[in-house]
Structure 1
Amino acid sequence: MEVSGREEISELIYNNLIRHKDELVRSYSASKSQIGYFFVDDLLPKSLAKKCAEVFPKPSEMRCLKSLREYKHVSAQMDAHDSFLEEVLYAFQDKKIVNLIGEICEIESLDPDDSLYAGGLSLMAKDNFLNPHLDNSHDAQRERWRVLNLLYYVTPNWEAANGGHLEIWPNGPKEKPIVIQSQFNRLVVMATHDKSWHSVNKVTVDESRCCISNYYFSNHPLQETDKFHITKFRGRPEDTLTNIVLDIDASLRTLIRKVFKKGIRKNPHVYDKKT
C-alpha cells in the first residue's frame, strides 16, 4: 500500500481508533483506578507496519543504554534514519488523534511532544530488558506533566516466548504484573503517574523487538497525589540486592534534582533538529 505521508498515515490511525472507540473507552475506564491502559491491534495496514520494521535502524545505529536499570537501544534523532519512520512517529502527534485519545482517556489539555523527549525509537535485542520503573513526571523544562505513553510495536511474528513484552504493575512492583505482548502492529496506550510502575521483560531470542514511541503531556497531573519525581527504577520482586542498589541510586538522583532543578546536564534523548 502506497501512502503520501504522515497526513494519510494519521488518517488511517484515526479511523482505526474511531472504529474501536467504545471498546477502548471501556478498557481504559476499567483499568483507570490503578494504571489506565488500552491497546488496539492491526493499527495500520500490514504493508505499512512491515515497512517500519524493514527500515528500522540496527542496534549499531542507535544509542545503547546499559546499566542495572535497563539494557536497550534508543534514538530520537529521526533525521538520522529512514524518513518513513519519522512520518509514522509524528502521525501520532496529529491534533485529531491527540484529541481522540484524550476523549478515550478523559484527559483535557493533552499535548504531544515535538522534541521527542525520551520518546522516538527503541529496540531490544537478545538479553535486553527494562526493570520496573516510574517515568519522569515532567517534560524537560518541568512545565508539563507526562500523562500518557504510546507504544507502537512493529516487529513481525514476535512471539510470546521471545520476551521483550510490556509489563504493568497495578499493585506495585512487589506483586505480579500484567503482561501485554509486544505484538506486531499493536498500539498500547498507558497512563503515567506516580503509581504507574511498568517494565519490559528480557528478550530471550537473537532478534530485535522494535517500537515507535510517543509521550503526551498535560498542564495537569492525572492524579491529585502526583508530585514531581525523576525516573525511578526498582529490581524485580525477587531481586533484593538490585532493589537496595536502585533505591540508593534513585535517592541520590532525586537529591541532585532538588539542587539542580533541570538536572546537571541536558538530557541527550531529544530530537536535535537542524532547522
Structure 2
Amino acid sequence: MRSNQEDMYLDNATLNNRYVESLLSKLEYHKLELHKEFKIPQRINSCYLDNLLDEEDTRKIYASFPEHQEMLLLKDLREYKYVGIQLNKYHPILSKIIYAFQDRRVVKIISEITGIKNLFADEYLYAAGFSLMKKDCFLNPHLDNSHDKDRDRYRVLNLLYYVTPDWHQEYGGNLELWDRGLKQPCRTIHSKFNRLVIMVTNKSSLHSVSKIDYPGQRCCVSNYYFSPQPVDDHEYFHVTSFRGRPKEKVRDLILQGDAILRNGIRKIFKHGIKKPHFYRK
C-alpha cells in the first residue's frame, strides 16, 4: 500500500509530465512558424504562441499564485512589481510549471525555434520565477542583466508565460519592445491569457511593461536561458540597465546615472552589494 507521501509524489510527477508533454507537443507543432517570426529582421528577435497549455491547467496555475503580500515587493523609479523566487514557500504547481520549461527536451525545441545553440536553463532562477503586477505597477524600459548569477554564461533568452484569465490589452501590463530605441514608438505584445512570449536578451533588447490601469492582477511565469556565448559577435557585460520613457527626461538622467554606478560596482564586486535574486534551494 502506498503512503500519502508517495501518492503526493506521483501526483506531482504526473502533473510535471503533463506540462512538459503539452509544451513539447505545442512547440513542435508550431516550430517553423515561430522560427520565421523570431527571425523577422530589423526588430528585437521575438515570437509568441497562444493557447500554450490546456485552459483548465492554466487557470489552476493562476489560482496557485500567492497574494501579493506574500511576495517580494520591488518598487522604485525603475519598476513596481511583486516577485516570487523562493519556490518552496509557494504552491507546488508554480514550481512544476517553471521547471517544465527547463526540461532538456523543451530547451532543445526552443533552441531550434530561435537558432541559438548551446542553451542552458537556470535551476536557480536568477531574476526569474514568477511575478504579479496590480494597479499602477510598471516596468520601465531596460536591458536585462547580461549574465547569470556567477557571470559564467550570457543571458540570451527570456520566456514569459502569461496566465491571468480575461486580461484585456487596454488593462496595461503588456510587454513593450523598443525595436528602434526610445526615439521611436515601441511594439506592444499583449500579455494575453495562456500566451508564451520568447524574446532575445542582448545589449540592444530594450523592453518594458506598460503601467497597469485596472484593479486586477497580471500574473506571469518567467524563465531565462543562458549560453556560454553571447548572441552577438563580441563579449560584453552590463547590469540590468533602466531608462526613462520618452517623456521622462529627468527620470531618464537619473536612471542612466544609476546604471553607470551599479555597473561600476559590479566590475569591482562580482555579485554586487545587494542580496542577489535567485532561488536558494
For normalisation by structure 1, the TM-score amounts to 0.96
> Which AA in structure 1 matches 2:161?
Y
Query: 1:166 aligned to 2:181?
Result: no
Q: Secondary structure at the match of 1:188?
A: strand
Q: Is the 8 A contact 1:138 1:228 kept in 2?
A: yes
Q: Residues of 2 paired with 1:200 and 1:260: CA distance? A: 29
1:255, CA displacement in angstroms?
Answer: 1.5
For residues 109-148 of structure 1, what are the structure 2 equivalents within 5 Å?
109-148=118-157
| 1:138 counterpart SS class | coil
2: distance between equivalents of 1:226 and 1:69? Answer: 26
Letter in 2 for 1:174: K
Alpha-carbon distance in 2 for matches of 1:72, 1:173: 22
Does 2:227 correspond to 1:240? no
What are structure 1's unaligned runs of at least 5 residues? none
Instruction: Report the CA distance between 1:226 and its aligned residue.
Output: 4.9
Q: Which one-letter code corresponds to 2:87 in the other structure?
A: M
1:26 maps to 36
Cα displacement string for residues 143-172 of structure 1 (whole angstroms, at most 9, x for unaligned residues): 000000000000000001100000011111
- 2:25 is matched with which residue? 15
Q: How far is 1:271 from its partner?
A: 1.1
User: How far did 1:251 drift?
Assistant: 1.1
2:113 to 104, 121, 124: 104
Distance 1:176 1:47 in 2: 36
Q: 1:92 aligns with which of 96, 101, 107?
A: 101
Cα distance in 2 between the residues matched to 1:252 and 1:203:
29
Separation in 1 of the partners of 2:250 and 2:61? Answer: 39
Please say if residues 34 and 195 of structure 1, whose CA atoms lie closer than 8 Å, have aligned partners that are also in contact.
no
Secondary structure in 1 aligned to 2:95?
Answer: helix
Alignment partners' CA distance in 2, 1:28 and 1:116: 24
Report the RMSD for the aligned CA atoms in angstroms: 1.2
4+ runs deviating over 2 angstroms: none
Q: How does 1:1-275 map to 2 (within 5 A)?
A: 4-31=14-41, 33-267=42-276, 269-273=277-281
Per-residue CA deviation, residues 212-262 of structure 1 (Å, 9 max, x unaligned), is: 000000010001145100100001011101111111111111111122122
Q: Quick one: distance in 2 between partners of 1:210 and 1:143?
A: 30
After superposition, give the CA deviation of every residue in 1:113-148 in whole Å (9 maximum; x if it has no partner). 000000001010000000000000000111000000
**Corresponding letter in the other structure for 1:96:** R
The AA in structure 2 aligned to 1:17 is: L
Distance 1:34 1:149 in 2: 16
- TM-score, normalisation: structure 2: 0.94
Taking the aligned partners of 2:29 and 2:211, their CA distance within structure 1 comes to: 34
- Between the aligned partners of 1:41 and 1:23, the Cα distance in structure 2 is 13
SS of aligned partner of 2:69 = helix
The sequence identity of aligned pairs, in percent, is 47
How many residue pairs get aligned? The number is: 270
Would the aligned equivalents of 1:193 and 1:226 in 2 still touch at CA under 8 Å?
no
The question of whether the paired residues in 2 share the 8 Å contact of 1:75 and 1:120 is answered with yes
Q: Distance in 1 between matches of 2:30 and 2:96?
A: 23
Deviation at 1:58, TM superposition (A): 1.2
Q: Deviations over 1:12-40 (max 9, x none)?
A: 01100111111101101114x53111100
Distance in 2, Cα, partners of 1:72 & 1:218: 27
- Distance (Å, rounded) in 2 between the aligned partners of 1:247 and 1:9: 40
249-258 vs 197-206, greater mean Cα deviation? 249-258
- Structure 2 gaps, min length 5: 1-10
